[in-house]
Amino acid sequence: MLLHRVLPFSKRLLSETVLAGETVVDATAGNGNDTEFLAKLVGDSGSVVAFDIQHEALDATAERLGELNNHVELILDSHAKVDQYVKKPIGGAMFNLGYLPYSNDLTVVTKPHSTIEAIHKLLGLLKKGGIITISVYDGHEGGPEERDALTTYVRSLHQGDVHVVRYELLNQRNNPPILVAIEKVREFDEVRCV
Ligand code: SAM
């Protein structure tokens, strides 16, 4: 199958560009599925820095990781502060927006301002040729606003600095996610916005 659903497609993009031994960021750890994927991708010599603002999420992630935990740093803080924790170049980053699945409190959701701030900072840290994937859910309260703010932001990014694509399955029911993927095509410390 060539036309994957959004999550497998985002993993495929990262698999193509992340190298063993690199540092990568899971911006929204949640239940740890993506953290586990990234930890396996970078291997024993690499590291994953995973953020979430909910204790519950980081506990679930730690449990899921088991021994993979050795090269994962779990950070209970907003991804918007990524620059305080990650000081070296990264091979890639992954966002999975929205709320923590299976949580008792589905009102804790990612927010446009912090999501965009995190992406902006991560683009500075990203290696040339690296990819940031963002799975966007617009079926919950605040989701459409986050989708639209993110779309406006990524459309403004200078085409000489990054390539941005949007990928969605048009015939899937029940608000399927949309994938936004950003590839860094030039070295820079801060991406230009036009
Ligand atoms: N990637 C996860 C997985 O594999 O299970 C799913 C992530 S879930 C859809 C979104 C997560 O983002 C929630 O756990 C939520 O607590 C977290 N979140 C919301 N705002 C955040 C922020 N500012 N910084 C970091 N995480 C945040």
Is the residue at 109 inside a domain?
Answer: yes
pLDDT of residue 105: 87
Q: How many domains does the chain have?
A: 1
CATH of the domain at 63: 3.40.50.150
Through-space distance between the first and last CA atoms of the chain, rounded to whole angstroms: 37
Helices (H), the chain: 6-17, 33-42, 55-65, 82-85, 112-125, 143-155
Cβ–Cβ < 8 Å for 113, 89: no
Phi, psi dihedrals of residue 56, rounded to the nearest 5°:
-50, -40
Give the bridge partners for 90, in sequence order.
126
For ligand 1, mutation pick of 14, 26, 28 (most atoms within 8 Å of CB):
28
For ligand 1, mutation pick of 31, 51, 52 (most atoms within 8 Å of CB):
52
Please give the residue range of the domain that contains residue 175: 6-184
pLDDT in tens, the chain (194 residues): 899 999 999 999 999 999 999 999 999 999 999 999 999 999 999 999 999 999 999 999 999 999 888 899 999 999 999 999 999 999 999 999 999 998 888 889 999 999 999 999 999 999 999 999 999 999 999 999 999 999 999 999 999 999 999 999 999 998 899 999 999 999 999 999 99
Number of helices and strands (H, E) in the chain? 6, 7
Question: What's the CA-to-centroid distance between 145 and ligand 1, angstroms?
Answer: 17
- What confidence tens digit (pLDDT) does each residue in 123-170 have? 999 999 999 999 999 999 999 999 999 999 999 999 999 999 999 999
Structure tokens at 118: 């995190």
ipTM of the complex: 0.99
pLDDT of residue 104: 85
Structure tokens at 106: 């589905």
Cβ–Cβ < 8 Å for 24, 91: yes
Q: How many CB atoms lie within 10 A of CB 136?
A: 23
pTM for this model (two decimals) = 0.97
Is the residue at 33 inside a domain?
Answer: yes
